[in-house]
Structures are given as structure tokens and as C-alpha cells.
Amino acid sequence: MSQAEQFLQEALNAFDFGGQVVGAVRFGSGHINDTFCVHTQPGEDPCRRFILQRISANAFHHPDQVMANIAGVTSYLKKEIAAAGGDPERETLSLHTARDGSFFHTDVEGGAWRVYPFVENTMCLQCADTPQRFATSARAFGKFQRMLKDYPADTLYETIPRFHDTEDRLVKLKAAVAADVMGRVQSVQPEPAFVAAREADCSVALQALREGKLPLRVTHNDTKLNNVLLDRSTGEALCVIDLDTVMPGLSVNDFGDSIRFGANHCVEDETDLSKVSFDLNFFDAYTQGFLEGAQGALTEAELDYLPWGARLMTLECGIRFLTDYLEGDHYFHIQRPGQNLDRCRTQFKLVADMERCWDEMKAVVDQYRT
């Protein structure tokens, strides 16, 4: 048995799944955690599934703080969902505690493992196929933010410091270019140049925050389409997942991160850039859905900055992929060499597209102001 298999087996032993574990397979396409789907056979009852995850120690240095945040936020959301007549077992994640009563099990390397019951009869999309589906995810993320509007933000840990600090991401990219530890800089001249031409942009949202124009809220911070589960029966977004980065942040970033991932028809690592283009109709659908879900929870200034959120999250994500490529792909999981560079290039193509239809993006937001 390899060490990885041994850790997995120990993690499985640390939880009581209420039935015999008949298998655990790698699952999903997240870039950060190691995710497994656990199949169990509880006596004569049908198979029950669970999600078992090893939280990335590389991304999250204090898993106890990640889990404390998730425990607090999910128990708060469950009350909100129940009060609104929803189903708290399906509309947010539920933590399955370990045999020792704690929210996670730690392996000998310090890796933290946690378990969620699998939310069944759902689907998870890697690409928005219709504006309607994209809009339903938008309503879910808008509603997520509204439901957490009064959550005590000061009780949340900052699970990844400076996570959406675009200025700091720029500094880290420059350091990676200067260090060039993999000798890859000579092969990527256009990409750092693309960022250099947009240095001032990196400060736009942060400056608005510093000036008190944009408020800090409890935000999700990783709102890509595959972080929401859609109900297979209704087609509607059901459950916002991947709560590791829920912490104080900017609403415009939550909006923008969804746009960068979903308002186009390609996967994030598409190698044929001629296929990658920003789709204003999908932007329109998402804007309408997000504002419907948020139900007036956003200020006028936040509405003004929504297009900036889209541009900045796309630029920032491209910067992060490029930095990781230059540093040797230690942060985002890759399945092939050059994948992080491909991911970076799709993001920069989308940024350039957004710049070209900037006025139309602003007009879309204005259309949905009440």
C-alpha cells in the first residue's frame, strides 16, 4: 500500500459512515483539495455516498480555522434556510464528525481530512451550457451573500491571507518572474507584458475599499460554477459548496469570479484561444440572477463596480495561474505540463474581450438597477 493509500485508509477509519465502506474513488475536478467519493453499504439499505476531502495543506495553513469557519457558517445557513421553508440538509453542506467528535481527522503528515454527506440527485457543471443554468447559479450565489449579510464577520478566520488582494498577486508574479526557478520566463514573454500594461487596474477595487466606497462583507470568494450543485430534478441551483474561503471580502469579487469562469463556452484550460470569448448574453443572465438572489443587499457603489469585479477576478486568476506556472505548478493541481499556462491564457483572452465590451457590460448592470 502506498503512503497516500495508507492515509486514505486511516482517514476512512477515523469516521463512522454508518455502514460498511465498499470503496473510495477520486472525485470532481477541483484544483485544490484531494476529493474522494466514499460508497457505503448500510445493511439492507441503499448505498450511501459521502465526500471525503484532504484539505490542501499547501493552500490552507490552518485547517482547524477553515473547519471552524465552515462549522459556523453552515449552522447559521441551516437556520436561515429552515426559516425560509427550505431543506437545510440539501441546501447547504453538512459536516459529518469524526469518531472522536471533531470536525476533521489529521494524518501523520498534518493533512486534515473531513467528510460531508453527498448531496444526491445533483449535478456539477464545468461549463455553463445555457444562460438559464448560469442564471440559476447566479441566484444561488446572490442568495448566499444575502443570507450571510448579518453573519458576524469578525468571528471568521482569514483562511488564506490576502486571497483576493490583486496588488499582492501582482507583487508575487513579479517575484516569480525575477526568480524564474523553472527557467520558464523566456517562453512566456507576452503574458507578463499583458499584466504590466494593467498594473493600475490591480488597485481599482482595493482602492475603492480603502476609500470606504465598497464594504467588506462575508463572501464566498471562490464562486465558480462547479462550486454550486444543481438539482437534477428541477435544474435549479441547490447548494453552494466549497466553503473553504468563506471570509470577509468584496461582493464584486464573488460576482466577478463567477463571470470569469462561466461567461464563455470553453473550459478554463482550453488550448485553442480562438474558441475562448466572453459572452455578453451570459454576463447579462448572471447579472440578473445575482441581483435577484441578492435582493437589494448590494449598495449603489457595489453595483457600479460589478463590471470591475469581473475584469479584476479574471485578471487576478490569470496572474495566479501564471505565477504558479513559473514557480513549478505547486498550487493548482495539473493533469498535464503547461496546463497552468493554458489556464492563464484563457483568462487574459477574456480580460481583453471584457475591455472591448466595457460599455456594454456597464449598460447591462444599469439595466437591472431597481
Q: Which residues bind ligand ADP (CB under 6 A)?
A: 27-28, 30-33, 35, 51, 93, 116, 118-119, 122, 124, 226-227, 229, 241-242
In terms of Cα–Cα distance, which of 124, 128, 67 is closest to 284?
128
Restricted to residues 241-280, the positions that interact with Mg ion (CB under 5 A) are 242
Least distance (Å) between residue 314 CB and ligand GN1: 10
How many residues line the site for Mg ion (CB under 5 A)? Answer: 3
* Closer by beta carbon to ligand ADP, 122 or else 203: 122
Least distance (Å) between residue 199 CB and ligand GN1: 21
* Cβ contact 260:351 at 8 Å: no
Other CB atoms within 10 A of residue 300 CB: 9
What residue 119 binds from Mg ion, ligand ADP, ligand GN1, none (CB within 5 to 8 A, per partner kind)? ligand ADP
Mask for 191-230, x = binds Mg ion (CB under 5 A): ------------------------------------x---
Using CB under 5 A, which of 24, 30, 195, 205 touches Mg ion?
Answer: 30
* Closer by beta carbon to ligand ADP, 33 or else 251: 33
* CA atoms within a 13 Å half-sphere pointing along the CA-CB vector of 265: 9
Other CB atoms within 10 A of residue 301 CB: 14
Least distance (Å) between residue 307 CB and ligand GN1: 18
Least distance (Å) between residue 298 CB and ligand ADP: 25
Residue 159 and residue 305: Cα distance in Å, rounded?
25
β-strand partners of 106: 112
Least distance (Å) between residue 13 CB and ligand GN1: 26
| DSSP structural state of residue 297 | -
User: What value, to the nearest 5°, has the Cα angle with vertex 120 and ends 63 and 107?
Assistant: 25
Least distance (Å) between residue 173 CB and ligand ADP: 22
3-class DSSP assignment, residue 245: helix
State residue 278 phi and psi, 5-degree precision.
Answer: -70, 130
What residue 116 binds from ligand ADP, ligand GN1, Mg ion, none (CB within 5 to 8 A, per partner kind)? ligand ADP
* Closer by beta carbon to ligand GN1, 80 or else 279: 279
* Cβ contact 169:275 at 8 Å: no
Residue 64 and residue 159: Cα distance in Å, rounded?
10
Q: Residues interacting with ligand GN1, by CB under 6 A? A: 30-32, 59, 222, 224, 227, 242, 244-245, 257, 268, 317
Instruction: State the sign of the Cα–Cα–Cα–Cα dihedral 317, 319, 322, 328.
Output: negative
